[in-house]
Every structure is written in structure tokens, then in C-alpha cells.
């Protein structure tokens, strides 16, 4: 084993860890919520019951990370700030849902080293007016992006989850 | 013996020698390559190896835990980007905690920029980042009159649900403070909280040769050259034999 290798390996590991922790913040979640409503309303809470956890797990392919989901809403819209892993890191995205359909989507924090194309409006506009169909799937196919397949998958899963949560938040 | 025949014999001999010498390395590269190609599906990116010699090799120096936070029946010990809450090890890369508070229906762990809310069974209820906090950095966490209390540079805030925050009075707050670990506890938790390296990172470094240091990638480059030589010599030998068969 070569002693000289330790420093570059350690620096690479630390650099990757640092990049992963910080990521690229395109918009603070608070600013996104304020932009949608004009001000920041008090958060509401959707508790993930066992049944809802099972439905969320079926969409995500893994159990949801937490049991309490915060959201913000007025009479017309609800906003969901969700996180899901693309390849290795979490992607934070904001979903605005109105009348059971996605009004618009924005990638707020992107922590992966590749696949930032999912934040482009040309990709995100595919989600506009999407709603849930049978089996909690989207009513349309979302075109992928070469080199960002896993991030695209994560965005689609979060969109389905936002629509499911919105439906359940209305009782 | 004609020069062409000599060349043919030379190529055949060296094709076999190089192939035999490199077979283990080629198989290793093939297997690691296939596994890396499916690392996400196999969950290797989220899996960490916590082995002391590997952490030393990567220069990830482990820090022993220095103290614990205790509240009621609960305790929290942290080191090397992980923590142990009531004997349960957290995921990797959690922030350094600054305190632990037990409320009637939840346990709250605070770092300077986030709060982790756990149920009494240790299941994560919610994770609040800076946007959901009244102010950051959080300097201390405490409990007062069944309320969660945070001390920040902008003031002291309290909440019963960690959703809405109000300015809090400064008195009758039990602030979470670090407590010393016994020698036995320190040894036990040092072992549990050994720093780790992701499986994917190790596999990638093994595949590229970086694991062996500065000259590792050059060794892998040499193997690639061997593979190229084998492909060309194999193709040449095959075509030569085919050509000869067709002539007869």
C-alpha cells in the first residue's frame, strides 16, 4: 500500500462529502412557498398512517423517510416540498397542486454531480396539468433525459407523491 | 522457418501468456464493472463499510465520542457523522448534535441548523431544516412547560409541535447539556461509530486502480493495453487460420 495515496483519497472523499451536503440551491424552499402564496402561510401537517405509508412506499420503492409531511395551502392550491434520492443524493423539489393536477414544479436543491437538466423548464413543463390515474401513476409518460435517468425517475416519483398527498389532505 | 510463421508462433505464444497472466485481473474488472453499473439498484451508494483499517487507508480519521446528551430515559452519542440514539445507529452523514430533549410525545435532537423529531419508538417523524426554524444557528435546545425551546442569536423561541414558534420567556427552561461518558461507554460507542466509506466508492476505486494509490490507475491502463493487444492478436490469429482454411 502506498502511503502517498492516503491524502488524495481523503481529499477526494471529503470533497465529495462536502459537495453532497451542500448541493446547488436554486431557490430556498421558503422563498418558493412565499412566491406561490405571496406570503408564507402557516404549515399544515399530513400524518402518514400505516395505509398511507404503504401507498407512499409503493410509489417510492422504499418506505417514506418520515411520518409527518408538512405542506402549505390556501383555498385553491397546496404546496409540497419533497425530497427523493436521484442516484446518490437527495433532490429537493417544490410541487404546486391545484384541483388534483400539478400546476407547476421547481427543482429547489440539486445535490447530484450530474443530471441538473431536470431543473430545465423544458423538462419540468411535462408535469404541468398531470394528475393521478389508476395505480397512483401519472396520466402521462414523462420523457427521460439521457444521463439523468435516475433524477428523472426521482422527479416522477415525487410528482406522484405530491398528487397522492394532496388528494389525502382533502380528506 | 519463414518470418511469417515465426510471427504467427510468437503471437500465439504471447496471446496465451498475456491472457493467462491477466485472467484474474480481467475477471475482477468485469465483475466490479457490472456491479458498479447496478450500484444504485443494489443500494451500494447508501451502504457504508465501517472497518478501521479501511477508514485509516482513506485517511478518514475516526474521532472517539466525547460526551453524551441525556434526557429522561434517552441518550444520544455522536461521532464521525453518525449518532446513536437509545442504541439505534442513525444513517450516515447526520449533523453534529448540540442537544436532546424529551417531550411528552416525541424526542427532539438539535443540530445548529436542523431538528430531528423522533417518536418514542425511535422512528423519525420529521426533519426540520433552517427554513422551518425560527432562526439559525441554533445555539441550544431545551424544554420548558411541555414546550420545545430553542435558543438562537435572534432570541429564545418555543413550540409545542415544532411547526409554529413563539418568543419564549427566559426562565424555567431546562437546557440540554453534554454529559461525560464513562470509559466503558466511550470504548463501546467508539466501536459503534467507527467512520465509514461507501461501498460504491471502494468498488469504484478498486475498479479504476485508485485504491492502490498514485500508480494504481497506471496499472489499470497497462491492463487495458494488454486487453487491446489480446483483442488484436486474437483477431489476427483467427483471421489467419480462416484464410488458410479457405486456401486449402
End-to-end CA distance of chain B, in Å? 20
Confidence of residue B51 (pLDDT cuts 50, 70, 90): confident
Residue B172 confidence (pLDDT): 83
The lowest-confidence range among A86-95, A160-169, B106-115 is: A86-95
pLDDT digits (tens, 9 = 90+) for A110-156: 988 888 899 999 999 999 999 999 999 999 999 999 889 889 999 99
Confidence of residue B131 (pLDDT cuts 50, 70, 90): confident
User: Would residue B55 count as lying in a domain?
Assistant: no
Kindly report the average pLDDT of chain B as a whole number.
Answer: 88
Confidence of residue A35 (pLDDT cuts 50, 70, 90): very high
Statement to judge: residues B183 and B225 lie in one domain: no
Cell 465529495: give the residue: A16
Span B196-203, average pLDDT: 88
Residue B125 confidence (pLDDT): 95
User: Would residue A84 count as lying in a domain?
Assistant: yes
Residue A2 confidence (pLDDT): 46
User: Would residue B176 count as lying in a domain?
Assistant: yes
| Residue B55 at interface with chain A, using a CB cutoff of 8 Å | no
pTM: 0.74
| Residue B214 at interface with chain A, using a CB cutoff of 8 Å | yes
Kindly report the average pLDDT of chain A as a whole number.
Answer: 88
**Top-ranked range on mean pLDDT: pick from A52-61, B63-72, B162-171, B198-207:** A52-61
Residue A10 confidence (pLDDT): 52
In this structure, what C-alpha cell is assigned to residue B151? 435558543
Query: What crossing angle do the helices spanning A50-60 and A149-169 adopt, rounded to 10°?
Result: 160
**How many percent of chain A have pLDDT more than 90?**
73
pLDDT digits (tens, 9 = 90+) for A60-88: 999 999 999 999 999 999 999 999 988 77
Note whether B59 contacts A88, CB cutoff 8 Å.
no
User: Would residue A10 count as lying in a domain?
Assistant: no
Q: B12 CB contacts (<8 Å, ≥6 apart)? A: B237
Residue from B105, B125, B135, B218 to probe the interface with A (highest A Cβ count within 10 Å)? B125
Interchain CB contacts (distance < 8 Å): A and B = 75
Nearest CB partner across the interface for A66, out of B58, B125, B210: B125
Confidence of residue A17 (pLDDT cuts 50, 70, 90): very low
Contact list, A16 vs chain B (CB under 8 Å)? 201
Q: A170 CB contacts (<8 Å, ≥6 apart)? A: none
Statement to judge: residues B90 and B181 lie in one domain: yes
pLDDT digits (tens, 9 = 90+) for B8-17: 888 888 888 8
CA-CA-CA-CA torsion sign (B192, B194, B199, B203): negative
Contact list, B119 vs chain A (CB under 8 Å)? 67
Q: How far is A135 from chain B (nearest CA, A)?
A: 22
Span B41-63, average pLDDT: 81
Note whether B132 contacts A87, CB cutoff 8 Å.
no
Listed residues B149, B176, B193: the one ending a domain: B193
Note whether B216 contacts A4, CB cutoff 8 Å.
no
Q: How far is B73 from chain A (nearest CA, A)?
A: 23
| Whole-angstrom distance, CA of residue A16 vs CA of residue B51 | 20
Residue A1 confidence (pLDDT): 43
Query: How does strand B74-79 pair with strand B67-71?
Result: antiparallel
Statement to judge: residues B117 and B171 lie in one domain: yes
Listed residues B147, B172, B193: the one ending a domain: B193
Between residues B222 and A7, which one has the greater pLDDT?
B222
- Structural domain count of chain A: 1
Using alpha carbons, select from A133, A136, A130 the residue that is nearest to residue A59: A136
Residue from A68, A114, A148 to probe the interface with B (highest B Cβ count within 10 Å)? A68
pLDDT digits (tens, 9 = 90+) for B67-107: 999 998 899 999 988 899 998 888 778 899 999 999 988 99
Note whether A87 contacts B40, CB cutoff 8 Å.
yes
Span B110-117, average pLDDT: 96
Q: How far is B229 from chain A (nearest CA, A)?
A: 29
- Structural domain count of chain B: 2
φ and ψ at residue B24, rounded to 5 degrees: -65, -45
**How many percent of chain B have pLDDT more than 70?**
99
Statement to judge: residues B146 and B160 lie in one domain: yes
User: Would residue B58 count as lying in a domain?
Assistant: no
Q: What is the DSSP string of A62-127?
A: S--S-SEEEEEE-SSEEEEEEEEESSSSEEEEEEEEETTEEEEEEEEEE-SSS-GGGGSHHHHGGG
Span B171-195, average pLDDT: 90
User: Would residue B28 count as lying in a domain?
Assistant: yes
Span B164-193, average pLDDT: 90
Residue from A8, A11, A13 to probe the interface with B (highest B Cβ count within 10 Å)? A13
Expressed as residue numbers, the domain containing A144 is 24-169
Statement to judge: residues B67 and B7 lie in one domain: no
Q: Is A20 a residue whose pLDDT tops 50?
A: no
User: Would residue B53 count as lying in a domain?
Assistant: no
Using alpha carbons, select from A145, A143, A154 the residue that is nearest to residue A88: A154
User: Would residue A68 count as lying in a domain?
Assistant: yes
Residue B150 confidence (pLDDT): 96
Span A8-37, average pLDDT: 70
Q: How far is A55 from chain B (nearest CA, A)?
A: 17
Expressed as residue numbers, the domain containing B203 is 3-47+198-247
Residue A22 confidence (pLDDT): 52
User: Would residue A3 count as lying in a domain?
Assistant: no
Amino acid at each position: 500500500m502506498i502511503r502517498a495515496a492516503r491524502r488524495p483519497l481523503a481529499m477526494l472523499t471529503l470533497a465529495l462529502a462536502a459537495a453532497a451536503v451542500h448541493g446547488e440551491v436554486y431557490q430556498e424552499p421558503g422563498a418558493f412557498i412565499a412566491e406561490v402564496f405571496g406570503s408564507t402561510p402557516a404549515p399544515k401537517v399530513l400524518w402518514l398512517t400505516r395505509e398511507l405509508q404503504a401507498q407512499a412506499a409503493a410509489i417510492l420503492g422504499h418506505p417514506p423517510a418520515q411520518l409527518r409531511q408538512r405542506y402549505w395551502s390556501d383555498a385553491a392550491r397546496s404546496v409540497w416540498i419533497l425530497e427523493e434520492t436521484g442516484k446518490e443524493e437527495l433532490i429537493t423539489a417544490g410541487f404546486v397542486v391545484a384541483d388534483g393536477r400539478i400546476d407547476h414544479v421547481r427543482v429547489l436543491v440539486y445535490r447530484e454531480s450530474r443530471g441538473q437538466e431536470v431543473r430545465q423548464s423544458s423538462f419540468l413543463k411535462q408535469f404541468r396539468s398531470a394528475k393521478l390515474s389508476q395505480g397512483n401513476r401519472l396520466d402521462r409518460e414523462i420523457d427521460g433525459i439521457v444521463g439523468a435517468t435516475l433524477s428523472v425517475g426521482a422527479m416522477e416519483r415525487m410528482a406522484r407523491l405530491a398528487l397522492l398527498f394532496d388528494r389525502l389532505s382533502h380528506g | 522457418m519463414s518470418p511469417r510463421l515465426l510471427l504467427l508462433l510468437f503471437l500465439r505464444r504471447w496471446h496465451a501468456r498475456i491472457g493467462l497472466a491477466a485472467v484474474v485481473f480481467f475477471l475482477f474488472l468485469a465483475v466490479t464493472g457490472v456491479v458498479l453499473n447496478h450500484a444504485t439498484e443494489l443500494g451500494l451508494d447508501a451502504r457504508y463499510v465501517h472497518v478501521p483499517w479501511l477508514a485509516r487507508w482513506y485517511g478518514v480519521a475516526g474521532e472517539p465520542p466525547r460526551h453524551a446528551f441525556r434526557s429522561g430515559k434517552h441518550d444520544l452519542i455522536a461521532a464521525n457523522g453518525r449518532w446513536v440514539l437509545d442504541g439505534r445507529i442513525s444513517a450516515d452523514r447526520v449533523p453534529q448534535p448540540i442537544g436532546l430533549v424529551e417531550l411528552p410525545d416525541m424526542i427532539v435532537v438539535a443540530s445548529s441548523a436542523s431538528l430531528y423529531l423522533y417518536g418514542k419508538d425511535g422512528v423519525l417523524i420529521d426533519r426540520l431544516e433552517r427554513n422551518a426554524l425560527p432562526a439559525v444557528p441554533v445555539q441550544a435546545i431545551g424544554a420548558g412547560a411541555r414546550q420545545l425551546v430553542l435558543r438562537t442569536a435572534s432570541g429564545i423561541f418555543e413550540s409545542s409541535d415544532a411547526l409554529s414558534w413563539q418568543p419564549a420567556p427566559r426562565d424555567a427552561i431546562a437546557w440540554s447539556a453534554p454529559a461525560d461518558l464513562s470509559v466503558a461507554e466511550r470504548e463501546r460507542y467508539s466501536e459503534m461509530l467507527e467512520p465509514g466509506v461507501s461501498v460504491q466508492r471502494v468498488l469504484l476505486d478498486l475498479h479504476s486502480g485508485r485504491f492502490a494509490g498514485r500508480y494504481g490507475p497506471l496499472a489499470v491502463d497497462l491492463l487495458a493495453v494488454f486487453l487491446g493487444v489480446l483483442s488484436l492478436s486474437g483477431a489476427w490469429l483467427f483471421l489467419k487460420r480462416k484464410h488458410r482454411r479457405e486456401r486449402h
